[in-house]
Structure 1
Amino acid sequence: MPNTIVEQLADFTARSDFTQLPADVVEESKRIVLDSIGCALGAVNQPKGRIGIDYGRMTGGSDGDATIIGTPERVSVFGASFANGELINTLDSDAVLPPGHVTPYVLPGALAVGESSGASGKDLITAVAVAHEMSYRIGKAMDYLRDVKDGEVNTPKVYGYSSTVFGATAAITKLKGLAPEVQAHALGIAGLVAPVNSFRSWSMHTPTSTIKYLLAGTLTQSALTAAHMAELGHRGDLQVLDDREFGFPRFIGTTRWEPENITDALGSEWRFPAEQTFKPYPHCRILHALLDSLGEIVVDNDLKPEEIDSIKALVEGFVEQPLWLNRTIEHPHDAQFSIAHGLAVGAHRVPPGPAWHDPELIHSKSVLDLMDRTTHEVHPDYVEMLKGNAASRPARIEVSARGEVFVGERRYPKGSKSPEPETTMTNDELADKFRRNAEGIIPESNVDRIVDAVLNLETVADIGTIMKDTAVRS
């Protein structure tokens, strides 16, 4: 029986088999792959996405066996993983799972290694499931962004998504078929090469870094390095997750460390599907319930932006930080997090997707003028609702127009698993989102093939056929 946490995680990775995965784990893993490829396609013409592509080319060579999504490029697994991680995260439309964002860090390495080795759809599903379950469990052992203490929001001073390096590494070692003891050393190395948790610096300093909460490409490189170093014979720190005083919990900055959340029923209970969330809008998740209500008000009453005298929003409690309060929109990145700007865009009835970051829209007089008429306050029931259900993101919006005040309220945003079944995004809704993101990037026939193949991923013999369809012909 494995002893250390790292050894238990390696054993879990090695023993996980597609035939034993619960149906909801298989389904959610396929949905994650579909949504993520779509997010990447939608980002190929965005500044952050283009930089990721350029760097992937620089580091990946020109004659590799892994695809940079939405381009004609075939580069090394290192180059493709970097570029695809950045592309998935560029629009901020990618999936959400505690500790926050997981997929842009753990999927790119799996896609690249899987493509280069001719992995099957079942292989990829298993790797994706392992990576998300591991990342979720480790995230639940650490500080939370939405922490509450003594009835008040208590945002950690150090926070971030660096812990996803373990799940990212596990997915790669799984697809490479490494022995359990080698996988353990890979995870032990991963803990030592994880990027720093810089989230709070990013959220507190404006203009905010376009690196965002964690450069996805960098974490993919760390995971690939850890897997390859172990394969080549390096030894990892097998105690890195057990030692609170000198190990990963200390140097990554968490004040909470509850390792039982990592190991409890590991392998017999799969917990990530219950909290796996998808994002309809290319904007920070804190605004989504407000955007749901705002869109309903604007459409039902046929309101035009110029008719709106003011918008007042009541929102989650941890947003009183420069990142979300910013009203200076210099870059599409700024538009993804500003509360006032996001609501102003939402009132313009633009279908959510890459169009939300069109410079002509985000810098338009109509949007900027409405942003000036938009205010927010912290929702008074935020803490109580959060304690009642972790999926809660309470939101109230008041739109003044035509001498009336139109009011909308939500507790759960679209895309979340909640007591309200209609908030879950269906496969058809995810496919529609995929199509909006892919429009004009790849042929429509490719779009249909990708959607069908990924939603039936367990029948795909070689995931390279899917990646081929994501490529743009030169």
Structure 2
Amino acid sequence: MSDTVVRVLADFASGARFEDLPPEVVEETKRILLDSIGCALGGVSAPKGAIGGRLAHLMGEGGSATIIGRGRRASVFGAAFANGELINALDFDAILPPGHVAPYVIPGALAVAEEGHTAGRELITATAVAHEMSYRFGKSMDYHRDTSGEKADTPGVLGFASTVFGATAAVGSVRGLPGETVADALGIAGSISPVNSHRSWLMHAPTSTIKYTMAGPIVQAALTASFSAEYGHTGDQLILDDAEYGYRRFIGARRWAPENLVGELGSTWRFPAESTHKPYPHCRVMHAPFDALTEILESNDIRPGEIEGIRAWGEGWVQLPVWLNDRIEQIHDGQFSIDHGLAVAAQRIRPGPAWQSPEVVHSEQVLGLMEKVTFQGHPDAISALNRDPRSRPTRIEVDARGTTFAAERRYPKGTPSPEPETYMTTEELAEKFRVNAAEVLSPQQAEDAVDALLNLERLDDVGKLMGFVSVA
């Protein structure tokens, strides 16, 4: 079976070596780890993050792995579950096709690396492998929206469950498993993968608090698959070749392009060019509107109480219940509501955990301003997407002081785009880390963590890094 898709992926994962990684892959992988661990620190007090921590301790107290931002340790399975939930708690983590990747693929590798006193360069390699593999699955299956002509189509079944393969490969990479064992692990991962339930979640508002497909169960499925193969279970190594009865069929994908999975795999790394970072703790579709709104308010020093109305034009395909929701019952409801997001951005609060504090989410000032917000699809949105998938045409108009102020955007901040100013620099990511860590770590701890992450290839034991991001 040396030529099955599973075996090609397994050979890629087991054969990856740090010294063979291109510099841009190493750099972007460290940036993703910096950003993801920072997002986890920011999510410590969020309901999703707190629940994840409580569940982790049901899986074993006093283990060998750290829950980020906590003082107690847990089992590998428990810590990985909690850290997946923490990374995605604020919806502040990086974006990469098929959507969110980091919360699903980093925690298992991180916990196993800590337990095994693994060197930082091995964690970099595993994380890079996981992101490359997950990105390629994202380009092989249905995405959030497919454009055809002048329409955007949202598939009936979608989600991030395919990240279970990258997550499994990452665990196997850290543990140094041979290719045949990794192939079995990937076959097992496909067979126990959670379903793609994301579309149901999008269509029901207010939404359930689990959000998307929960990160924790996918992380645990990956750990289960990897350890099961290591201990002797065999996996279905034809699961990705069989379009009729295999993974593509039972995960519900209309589109299946396995050539995108294996083409130039190992020789061409594709994920760094589309890795997108978030400057705001809110669904990515609203970031260009936030950029334009912030420009208007700051350049004209407009205070929230002066705003008489906000009109926004953006991605029209998101006019589905989760984004149109105006019933803000749970903290996470504010992570997706278009009206609520613009009302929070108008408060001119520094983006970070404060955006999702109960005092802000449920404040009368924010809830009142929501009623003054309107949103429509931008007339150029689909044609722009067809020309460049990174493009997000946006216009914002603000009525204040008897005047209408306007601003437009083509690409949101955080996107590697033709506009250099939209790229989020490493120092900007480091500052985002400090903001997220401010209520959890001491300033010195935060600086030590940033330094360790940006120089991770020099670290001889990932456990030292985890010491910087835990509390006494």
TM-score range, shorter chain: over 0.9
- 3-state SS in 2 of match to 1:41: helix
Separation in 1, partners of 2:236, 2:72: 36
Alignment of 1:322-471 (within 5 A): 322-471=321-470
User: How much does 1:209 deviate?
Assistant: 1.1
Q: Is the 8 A contact 1:30 1:457 kept in 2?
A: yes
Residue in structure 1 matched with residue 21 of structure 2 by the alignment: 21
Residue in structure 2 matched with residue 303 of structure 1 by the alignment: 302
Residue in structure 1 matched with residue 110 of structure 2 by the alignment: 111
Separation in 1, partners of 2:87, 2:62: 23
Q: Could you give the per-residue CA deviations for residues 298-340 of structure 1, whole angstroms, max 9, x where no partner exists?
A: 1111111111110010011221100000001111100000000
Residue in structure 2 matched with residue 269 of structure 1 by the alignment: 268
Residue in structure 2 matched with residue 54 of structure 1 by the alignment: 54
Q: Could you give the per-residue CA deviations for residues 441-464 of structure 1, whole angstroms, max 9, x where no partner exists?
A: 011111000101111111111111
Separation in 1, partners of 2:255, 2:453: 37
Choose 144-153 or 111-120, whichever is displaced more. Answer: 144-153
Choose 206-215 or 336-345, whichever is displaced more. Answer: 206-215
Residue in structure 2 matched with residue 72 of structure 1 by the alignment: 71
User: How much does 1:73 deviate?
Assistant: 1.4
Separation in 2, partners of 1:444, 1:465: 17
Residue in structure 2 matched with residue 42 of structure 1 by the alignment: 42
User: How much does 1:57 deviate?
Assistant: 1.0
Residue in structure 2 matched with residue 97 of structure 1 by the alignment: 96
Separation in 2, partners of 1:218, 1:119: 24
Q: Which amino acid aligns with 1:62?
A: E
- 3-state SS in 1 of match to 2:309: strand
Separation in 2, partners of 1:404, 1:23: 50
Residue in structure 1 matched with residue 10 of structure 2 by the alignment: 10
Q: Which amino acid aligns with 1:29?
A: T
- 3-state SS in 2 of match to 1:64: strand
Percent identical among aligned pairs is: 58
Alignment of 1:252-263 (within 5 A): 252-263=251-262
- 3-state SS in 1 of match to 2:62: coil
Separation in 2, partners of 1:151, 1:256: 20
User: How much does 1:250 deviate?
Assistant: 0.4
Residue in structure 2 matched with residue 194 of structure 1 by the alignment: 193
- Flag structure 1 segments of 5+ consecutive residues without an equivalent: none
Q: Does 1:224 find its partner at 2:236?
A: no
Residue in structure 2 matched with residue 125 of structure 1 by the alignment: 124
Separation in 2, partners of 1:2, 1:464: 36
Q: Could you give the per-residue CA deviations for residues 74-98 of structure 1, whole angstroms, max 9, x where no partner exists?
A: 1111000000000000000001000
User: How much does 1:150 deviate?
Assistant: 3.4
- Flag structure 2 segments of 5+ consecutive residues without an equivalent: none
User: How much does 1:62 deviate?
Assistant: 1.7
Alignment of 1:140-151 (within 5 A): 140-151=139-150
Q: Which amino acid aligns with 2:12?
A: F
Separation in 2, partners of 1:320, 1:156: 14
Q: Could you give the per-residue CA deviations for residues 25-63 of structure 1, whole angstroms, max 9, x where no partner exists?
A: 00000001100110000111111110000001111x222
User: How much does 1:296 deviate?
Assistant: 1.0
- 3-state SS in 2 of match to 1:90: coil
RMSD: 0.8
**Poorly superposed stretches of 4+, deviation over 6 Å:** none
Give the alignment's TM-score, normalised by structure 2: 0.99
Residue in structure 2 matched with residue 284 of structure 1 by the alignment: 283
- 3-state SS in 2 of match to 1:314: strand
User: How much does 1:411 deviate?
Assistant: 1.1
Q: Which amino acid aligns with 2:318?
A: V
Q: Is the 8 A contact 1:185 1:237 kept in 2?
A: yes
Q: Could you give the per-residue CA deviations for residues 352-401 of structure 1, whole angstroms, max 9, x where no partner exists?
A: 00000111111111111110000100111111100111111221111111
Residue in structure 2 matched with residue 320 of structure 1 by the alignment: 319
Separation in 2, partners of 1:149, 1:245: 25
Q: Which amino acid aligns with 2:211?
A: K
Q: Is the 8 A contact 1:2 1:11 kept in 2?
A: no
Give the alignment's TM-score, normalised by structure 1: 0.99
Separation in 1, partners of 2:161, 2:342: 30
Q: Is the 8 A contact 1:81 1:220 kept in 2?
A: yes
